[in-house]
Amino acid sequence: MTLDEIFAAQQIGFPILSTLILIPVASAILLSFVKDENLARWVGLTGALVELLLALVVVFEFIPGVSSIQFAERVGWISTVGISYHLGVDGISVLFVPLTAFVTVAVMLTSWRAVRFLNKPYLAAMLAFEAAAIGVFVSLDLFVFFVFWELMLIPSYFLIKLWGAGPERQHAGLKYVMYMLVGSAPLLIGIVLLGVNYHSATGGSGAAPSYSFDLLTLLGVPIAPPLQTLIFFLLAFGFAVKGPLFPFHTWMPAALSEGPAAMSIFLVGLKLGVYGFVRFVIPLLPVASAKWLWLMAVIGVFASLYGALIATVQPNLRRLLAFASVSHVGLATLGLFSLNQQGIQGGIVMLINLGFVSTGLFILAASLHARSGSSELLAFGGLARQTPLLATFFFLFGMAVIGLPGTSGFTGEFLILQGAFLLHPALAGAAVLGVILSAAYLLIYYEHAFFGPATHEAVKTLPDLLPRETVVAAATGVMILWIGFYPAPFLRITGGSVQALVERVRGGHAAAIRPQNDK
């Protein structure tokens, strides 16, 4: 998997990825000079919209069907230890950039009037999270990646602690940060070991020791299988905690129940932990990935079943969506560790689908909570008659969660199940059961909340979606239907990079099974 680079100066004429990181930062700084609260909202939204438009430029100018790193930027930073400011996107990462920008705009519009105190810091925290998340998706130096990874914790903590909706929000914020720090420690050790291995493999014992944390450079350096296994579990632990992948998921229900809708959308919509597997773990550690694919696949299937089962008994909509997210993270993990074209592409499409679907569902959940003061099922009933727009969009997003043909969920799930079947039919069969359970918890909740008898008189006076909420829901619905009915452009964008990844891990797969055949 030798990747060439197309630099941003050649492709578009300016460092567009750095600009995407700087726009939210500049918007957040500008907010400090704005005194009027309403003007501050418009400044934040304008920055988010400019970010979205520029992110769409990246996709439209992206050359599909190739494995090259595009819009690359490379500047020396800490040369003594081989750290460079290296950014770029390929078919694996490019779609996550506009997804992050879209989610931020959706959050801005949804919480337009919801925050009644410290509005400017709230907007600044959201923009800071967006900048860090974009940095994670475009970083090609593992040290730079880790810096952005850790920077996300700062706005995340304050968003949960200061603007959370639940009485235990401070505890939930602290729990989230502690979990992330526990996951970050082995992640950092694994990154350091990759740099040390490069130093050893290149004979850097002379007067000028050579280190590197650059992804493209590390791809060309052999790693001994025992060391691959060690680094594999170090990185996998850190990414599994962030995923969250069972059994490291216990922070998510608390964060989603107690935190604000904005943080819930970010945490569920942007699967940064699962992205880490396909961006770094699988390509850098192909032998270990092939050797331990059975473990990751089994964990993925179990997480899919566990999350779906727990979701079926959740009366609280936010907690239901939290466990549904755990289930879908498991399914995406199964796809990625099928280590074939269908499974990996399905996993990536699943992550994109989760971004749009989770955004839509949490917007509706936030709307219900703002109107009724509750996310509990017992507080609702008869919503379809009172809020027909909300009911319609909830049904559409729910069908995408289930994977109904014609929605974005079907494309990802179909490819994942196909890849899982090629890996092992039993795993595919168990994963199908998880898909069936996802239909159960969504339809059960929908029937009771929207078509069941009204249990409170207040439900009969609930207003339907506001215009700005309708715009966000409609835009989300368009993307869900587009990916569902015409996924070809998205598969073409990811195809070249996924094929290069499969070819790399194919050698690792053969190396992993050869000792068993020799016996």
Mean pLDDT, consecutive 10-residue segments, the chain of 519 residues?
78 92 94 86 92 95 90 87 90 93 89 76 91 94 93 87 75 83 91 89 62 88 90 93 83 77 79 90 91 90 89 81 86 90 91 88 79 64 79 88 87 90 86 84 80 68 80 90 91 90 76 49
* Cα gap 481→479, rounded to integer Å: 5
User: How distant, in Å, are the alpha carbons of 335, 336, 351, 358 from that of 329?
Assistant: 10, 11, 8, 12
Across the beta sheet with 69-78, the strand order is 5-7, 69-78, 83-89
Q: Which amino acid is at 347?
A: G
End-to-end CA distance of the chain: 29
Cα separation, 388 vs 379, whole angstroms = 17
pLDDT given for residue 239 in this prediction: 92
Residue 161's CB: how many other CB atoms inside 10 A?
18
CA–CA separation, 158 vs 368, rounded Å?
A: 24
Measured over the CA atoms of residue 101, residue 104, residue 108 and residue 109, the dihedral's sign is positive
462 close to 387: Cβ distance less than 8 angstroms: yes
- Give the single-character DSSP code of 214: B
Alpha-helix residue ranges (DSSP H) falling in 202-250: 215-218, 225-242
Handedness of CA 119, 18, 68, 237 (dihedral sign): negative
Q: What is the C-alpha separation between 44 and 18, in angstroms, rounded?
A: 19
pLDDT value for 377: 60
Map tokens 């990759």 to a residue.
Answer: 194
pLDDT for the residue 207: 44
- In whole angstroms, how far apart are CA 510 and each of 222, 246, 279? 16, 28, 21
- What pLDDT does residue 468 have? 84
CB 42 within 8 A of CB 8: no
Angle between helices 293-312 and 317-336 (to 10 degrees): 160
CA distances from 227 to 222, 297, 512 (A): 10, 21, 14
Q: Which helix (H) or strand (E) holds 83?
A: strand 83-89
CA distances in angstroms from 5 to 54, 74, 77, 83, listed in the order given:
21, 10, 19, 18
